[in-house]
């Protein structure tokens, strides 16, 4: 018997038992739904973290600290030679200027930019109103979403990138007209005596306006200066204080991305704690993978349950159709074809379940994606990404699972003695 | 020609052996109509199953056109059955959920007849049993007599050489039974097809060329018209 004829007959007998077919498929559909969703969430999640990391870090960059921060196990011993930091959660040591210059010597290191994060007094613009501001260092290879202006290469030392929120606050009429204008930042020299405080105004030209993006954490809240400008501010503010030249972390730029691992090794050998962008991504991705694994586990559980459903349904189907099987065998249908008929029925059940389940998952994704994006305030980023190949693999895999579940009932049908079958009235 | 030689068939083991067929021998010429008669439980159906290769006897041969079908392997015997034989049963065994067309199509599909050639064969068979207007109806909607006519159409659609009928009129009243009988004998005469009918019905048996009587698994008599 031809495969085509067998599969038409298989589909027809499923159609005759619609309710049963659908209910059995439903079980496998639940599995398909969960698995498809977990795969989509994995793909979407990893893509999302990829984008986050590339929007906030540079793949050529390493983040270096004095030593791996330790969870605080009781009070830490004080040491005169190295200054330390202690928060409620962890204790660690600062990097000092010695460390910075040592790191600069390492082969493959282009530059070292400690996180200056200068603590300025305020920023003001044409309106004269004063605002608090957090500043950080601009990195040319970090993707920014710009509302106005543009950055080609690095920032000049007298340039600043504002965020959209500051535009109207500082007194500019719109994003575009702010570009090219000057803003003032006022900083205090901390080492100046209280009786005679000293402060200075620094002027910057607005180079660009960064807009709020679901990806760029820094761009949302901090104003960006060039590395040198940050250092100048930092030096002015902190020079002469006890904490001057102490940094919790520093960014280290490598010549190329493939150098980062050897640099990391050197740094580790020297006793520093270094992380590449890939490490940071890896930590986030491990988290996503664990979540995805849990979801996949639920999906697999549903599939395993549905296996018993299929076996049960197909056994009942064989018992119900003893006469039909007997007749077909009497008419010369081969055992192999009888077996195929039942395996194909199982395959159809698997296909319907897989297609319906993953189809519903895709619809679910379409509905839920904008809701999630809105709730998490991540703009137009999609957290569920359905890859056609993944869906194909899920459906094909479930068809195989269904066929495998159908093997035992199919064998029972194939081995049925036609005479016994035809005797049953 | 069908030669049945020394067929013995037993059921059960050791102390409880039950001989259903005991050294059965006879010969049926091509194109003959044959009635197998006997009391209930005498072994008629078993004999028919053995002759068609559905059942394996303990001993003996069934030689059809010079070939012992019992020595064939399962694949060949299935093929032989799908191309050269067909069956009609007392309780019809039509597929209630399928259309008449699909019911008749089944033997052609099993015999690997190409899709294009099926339609004309199916329609010819349905015409022969006067069910062509019910082509698309489901078999469950048919009356008993119509169901058996559908079974006849299914049996003749692939132009078999041998047609087995196990009490084909057993579930029908005499008038509808008569119609089915007429169809079978008509087909037998016109196409020179060997017709083997298992029956209780003496009138039906008398319409056959040969009457084989079985009693307790043994041949009681073989009578021919000539
Ligand atoms: N699988 C089996 N196991 C044991 N005995 C069997 C089996 N199949 C058939 N028999 C016995 O073989 C004998 C012949 O059965 P068979 O069906 O051939 O009778 P029959 O002549 O066709 O009867 P009927 O006219 O009632 O159809 C019966 O006594 C039956 O009980
Ligand atoms: Mg019988």
Residues in A touching B98 (Cβ below 8 Å): 12
Q: How far apart are CA B124 and CA B111, in angstroms?
A: 17
Q: Are the Cβ atoms of B78 and A419 closer than 8 angstroms?
A: no
pLDDT at residue A88 greater than cutoff 60: no
Disruptive mutation site among B56, B87, B95, B99 for chain A (greatest number of A CBs within 10 Å): B95
Mean pLDDT of B165-186: 92
Give the residue ranges of DSSP H helices in A204-276. 217-221, 227-238, 260-269
Higher pLDDT, B204 or A113: B204
| CA B165 / ligand 2 centre spacing (Å) | 10
Residue A200: which H helix or E strand, with range? strand A198-210
Residue B29 has what pLDDT?
95
Are the beta carbons of A318 and A412 closer than 8 angstroms?
Answer: yes
The contacts found for B73-82 with CB under 8 angstroms, 24 or more apart, are B74/A334, B74/A335, B75/A334, B77/B53, B78/A329, B78/A332, B78/A333, B78/A334, B79/A332, B80/A332, B80/B53, B81/A330, B81/A331, B81/A332, B81/B52, B81/B53, B81/B54, B82/A331, B82/A332, B82/A333, B82/B107, B82/B110, B82/B111, B82/B158
> What ligand has the least distance to the C-alpha of B38?
1
**Three-class SS of residue B208?**
coil
- pLDDT of A82 higher than 70: no
Supply the pLDDT for residue B42: 93
| CATH code given to domain B2-224 | 3.40.50.300
B45 close to ligand 1 (CB < 6 Angstrom):
yes
DSSP 8-class letter at B219: E
A170-214 pLDDT, tens per residue?
999 888 888 999 999 999 998 888 888 899 999 999 999 987 765
Tokens of B102: 């699909």
Does B215 have pLDDT greater than 90? yes
B49 touches chain A (CB under 8 A): yes
Q: Say if ligand 1 is within 6 A of residue B38 CB.
A: yes
In the sheet where A273-276 sits, what is the strand order?
A109-114, A249-254, A61-65, A273-276
Q: How much is the pLDDT for B30?
A: 94
Check residues B202 and A90 and name the one with the higher pLDDT: B202
Domain limits, chain B: 2-224
Other CB atoms closer than 10 Å to residue B40's CB: what's the count?
7
User: Would the CB of B44 count as within 6 Å of ligand 1?
Assistant: yes
Least confident of A130-144, B14-28, B46-60: A130-144
User: Mean of the per-residue pLDDT values for chain A?
Assistant: 85
Note whether B98 contacts A: Cβ–Cβ < 8 A: yes
pLDDT of residue A422: 83
Say what angle helices B100-110 and B115-128 make with each other, to 10 degrees: 130
Is pLDDT above 90 for A260?
A: no
Chain A residue whose CA is closest to B91: A425
In angstroms, the CA A89 to CA A170 distance is: 37
CA gap A270, A264 in Å, rounded: 10
- Give how far A417 is from chain B: nearest CA, Å: 9
pLDDT, one tens digit per residue, over A17-47 is: 888 889 999 989 999 999 999 999 988 888 8
> In whole angstroms, what is the distance from residue A334 CA to residue A280 CA?
61
Chain B nearest-CA distance from A404, in A, is: 25
| Cα A295–chain centre separation | 16
Across residues A136-160, what is the average pLDDT?
81
For chain A, the structural domain boundaries read: 3-53+283-423, 60-276
Question: What mean pLDDT comes out for the span B147-167?
Answer: 95
- pLDDT above 90 coverage of chain A, percent: 36
How far does Cα A165 stand from its chain's mean position?
A: 27
Confidence of residue A164 (pLDDT cuts 50, 70, 90): confident
Average pLDDT of the residues in A298-322: 92
- Which region among A245-249, A281-285, A392-396 has the lowest average model confidence (pLDDT)? A281-285
**Res A87 pLDDT > 60:** no
Give the pLDDT confidence score for residue A273 in this predicted structure: 86
Query: What is the least distance, in Å, from the CA of B225 to any CA of chain A?
Result: 31
Do the Cβ atoms of B82 and A332 come within 8 Å?
yes
pLDDT band at A275 (very low <50, low <70, confident <90, very high): confident
Lowest-pLDDT range of A66-75, A130-139, A342-351, A355-364: A66-75
Residues of chain B contacting residue A422, judged by C-beta atoms under 8 Å apart: 89, 93
CA-wise closest residue to A336 among A47, A81, A3: A3
Cβ of B213 below 6 Å from ligand 1: no
pLDDT value at A141 more than 80 = no
Tell me if residue A195 falls in helix, strand or coil.
Answer: coil
In chain A, the percentage of residues whose pLDDT exceeds 70 is 89
The 10 Å Cβ neighbour count of residue B196 is: 25
DSSP codes, B126-142: HHHTT-GGGTTSBGGGS
Query: Looking at beta carbons, which residues of chain B come within 8 Å of A2?
Result: 109, 112
**What count of other Cβ atoms lies within 10 Å of the Cβ of residue A240?**
11
| pTM assigned to the model | 0.74
Residue A219 has pLDDT above 50, yes or no: no
CA distance A306 to chain B (A): 27
CB-CB neighbours of B36 under 10 Å = 27
Specify the length of chain A in residues: 425
Instruction: Categorise residue B167: left if φ over 0, alpha if ψ from -120 to 50, beta otherwise.
Output: left
- Closest residue to A16, CB basis, from B93, B97, B110: B97
3-state secondary structure of B71: helix
ipTM score of complex: 0.93
pLDDT of residue A379: 66
The answer, yes or no, to whether any atom of ligand 1 lies below 6 A from the CB of B93, is no
Of A12, A326, A332, the CB nearest to B79: A332
| Paired strand residues for A188 | A199
Give yes or no for residue B154 having a pLDDT over 50: yes
Contact (Cβ atoms closer than 8 angstroms) between residue B107 and residue A331? yes
Mean pLDDT of B94-112: 94
């Amino acid at each position: 018997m031809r495969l085509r004829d067998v599969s038409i007959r298989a589909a027809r007998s499923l159609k005759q038992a619609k309710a049963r077919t659908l209910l059995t498929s439903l079980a496998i559909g639940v599995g398909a739904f969960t698995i498809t969703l977990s795969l989509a969430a994995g793909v979407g999640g990893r893509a999302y973290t990829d984008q986050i990391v590339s929007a906030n870090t540079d793949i050529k960059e390493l983040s270096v600290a004095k030593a791996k921060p330790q969870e605080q196990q009781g009070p830490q011993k004080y040491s005169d030679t190295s200054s330390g930091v202690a928060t409620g959660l962890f204790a660690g040591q600062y990097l000092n200027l010695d460390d910075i210059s040592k790191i600069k010597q390492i082969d493959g290191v282009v530059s070292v930019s400690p996180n200056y994060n200068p603590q300025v007094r305020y920023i003001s613009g044409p309106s004269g109103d004063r605002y608090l501001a957090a500043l950080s260092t601009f990195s040319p290879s970090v993707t920014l979403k710009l509302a106005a202006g543009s950055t080609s290469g690095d920032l000049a030392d007298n340039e600043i990138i504002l965020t959209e929120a500051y535009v109207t606050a500082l007194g500019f009429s719109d994003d575009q007209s702010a570009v090219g204008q000057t803003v003032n930042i006022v900083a205090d020299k901390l080492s100046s005596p209280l009786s005679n405080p000293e402060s200075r105004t620094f002027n910057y030209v607005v180079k660009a306006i960064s807009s709020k993006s679901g990806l760029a954490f820094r761009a949302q809240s901090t104003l960006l200066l060039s590395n040198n400008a940050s250092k100048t501010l930092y030096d002015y503010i902190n020079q002469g204080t006890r904490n001057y030249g102490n940094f919790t972390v520093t960014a280290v730029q490598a010549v190329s991305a493939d150098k980062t691992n050897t640099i990391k090794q050197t740094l580790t050998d020297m006793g520093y704690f270094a992380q590449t962008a890939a490490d940071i991504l890896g930590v986030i991705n491990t988290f996503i993978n664990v979540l995805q694994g849990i979801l996949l586990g639920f999906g697999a559980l549903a599939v395993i349950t549905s296996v018993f459903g299929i076996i049960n349904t197909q056994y009942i189907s064989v018992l119900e159709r003893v006469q039909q099987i007997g007749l077909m065998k009497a008419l010369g249908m081969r055992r192999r074809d009888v077996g195929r008929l039942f395996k194909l029925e199982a395959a159809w059940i698997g296909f319907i379940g897989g297609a319906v389940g993953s189809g519903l998952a895709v619809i679910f994704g379409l509905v839920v994606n904008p809701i999630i994006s809105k709730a998490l305030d991540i703009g137009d980023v999609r957290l569920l990404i359905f890859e056609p190949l993944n869906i194909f693999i899920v459906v094909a895999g479930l068809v195989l699972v269904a066929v495998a579940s159908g093997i035992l009932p199919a064998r029972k049908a194939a081995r049925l003695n036609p005479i016994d079958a035809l005797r049953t009235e | 020609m069908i030669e049945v030689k020394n067929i013995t068939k037993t059921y059960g083991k050791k102390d409880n052996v039950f001989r259903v067929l005991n050294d059965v021998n006879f010969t049926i010429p091509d194109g003959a109509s044959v009635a197998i008669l006997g009391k209930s439980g005498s072994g008629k159906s078993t004999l028919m199953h053995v002759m068609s290769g559905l059942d394996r006897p303990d001993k003996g041969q069934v030689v059809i056109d010079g070939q012992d079908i019992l020595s064939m392997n399962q694949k060949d015997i299935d093929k032989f059955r799908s191309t050269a034989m067909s069956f009609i049963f007392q309780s019809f065994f039509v597929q209630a959920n399928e259309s008449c067309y699909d019911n008749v199509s089944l033997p052609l599909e099993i015999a690997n007849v190409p899709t294009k050639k099926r339609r004309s064969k199916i329609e010819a068979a349905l015409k022969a049993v006067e069910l062509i207007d019910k082509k698309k109806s489901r078999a469950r909607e048919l009356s008993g007599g119509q169901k058996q006519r559908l079974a006849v159409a299914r049996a003749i659609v692939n132009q078999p050489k041998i047609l087995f009928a196990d009490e084909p009129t057993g579930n029908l009243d005499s008038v509808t039974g008569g119609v089915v009988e007429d169809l079978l004998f008509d087909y037998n005469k016109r196409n020179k097809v060997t017709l083997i009918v298992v029956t209780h019905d003496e009138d039906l048996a008398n319409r056959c060329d040969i009457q084989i009587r079985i009693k307790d698994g043994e041949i009681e008599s073989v009578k021919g018209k000539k």
